[in-house]
Amino acid sequence: MKKTVQSLLLAAVFVAIVSCFAATAYILRCAQDPEHQLEKLLINSDKGICKAFFSPDDNVRSVLIKLIQTEQEKIITAMYTLTEKEIAGELLEAYKRGVELELVVDRGYGVERASKIPKLANHHIPIWVYQCTDDETQSSLMHNKFFVFKKNILDKTIVWTGSYNATQRASTRNQENVVVLDCPDLGKQFIDHFEKLKTRSLLISGRKGDTQNEYSSEHKRPEAQRVKDFFKKIDEFLGGK
């Protein structure tokens, strides 16, 4: 009888230890899961999303990266300048796993030395370069800074917009703001405007609807220097120098 009680106690202790380890592992896994982190960070008590972030006080770059990592279908972005290596890398990884990706960028920053646009273009990601008039008195910039994530956490369409450019300086030094929203009507407005921006821009890489999984080896794109030269010619032609 005594041995039986001891065996039962040992079994109970063993089960308790295993359960404790399992619970700890689950908590750690959730803590490292971008989707779980985003839900905790963005979802309000009414299950909606309406959040503001301010750089450098908040880790704005981290929030954006998690949104990229959790996107399931498509990301569109109109970004004045993109020099942040980590953000560009996450966009490329999303594209490689089959997420559709489209970008509209300003022509002036295609020749920027730190620009990640040539790197993305080399992986045949569809990129449009905004074309302004050659009349300097009427010239303009593609100064938007927004992302639309088509199917993200809880299958929501999420809009990210504000003053934040995808740059190291904006992440760590500049005083920037971002709002993150899941309003369907607002999302449609941004998507419609993105399509309008594409009509004012020149497609310089990829094809609409391309993903890494749909491309074969025969569709190789120019090297980075060739893309940079392309931007430079546009800049010179439009009087950017």
| Domain boundaries, given as residue ranges, for the chain | 33-206+218-234
pTM of the model: 0.76
**Sheet containing 100-105: order of strands:** 50-55, 176-181, 158-162, 145-149, 74-79, 100-105, 127-130, 201-205
CA geometry: angle at 230 spanning 224 and 233, to 5°?
140
Q: Which residue has the tokens 């449009």?
A: 128
CA contacts within 13 A on the Cβ side of 167: 18
Residues belonging to the chain: 241
Taking only the tens of pLDDT, the chain with its 241 residues reads 656 656 666 655 555 554 444 444 334 444 456 889 999 999 999 999 999 999 999 999 999 999 999 999 999 999 999 999 999 999 999 999 999 999 999 988 667 789 999 999 999 999 999 998 766 667 899 999 999 999 999 999 999 999 999 999 999 999 999 999 999 999 999 999 999 999 999 999 987 666 555 543 434 444 455 555 665 655 665 554 4
Exposed, middle or buried: residue 216 (CB in 10 Å: 0-12, 13-18, 19+)? exposed
| Domain covering 33-206+218-234: architecture | 2-Layer Sandwich (3.30)
Tens digit of each residue's pLDDT (9 = 90 or more) over 179-194: 999 999 999 999 999 9
Which pLDDT belongs to residue 24?
41
Which pLDDT belongs to residue 83?
94
Which pLDDT belongs to residue 64?
97
Which pLDDT belongs to residue 12?
55
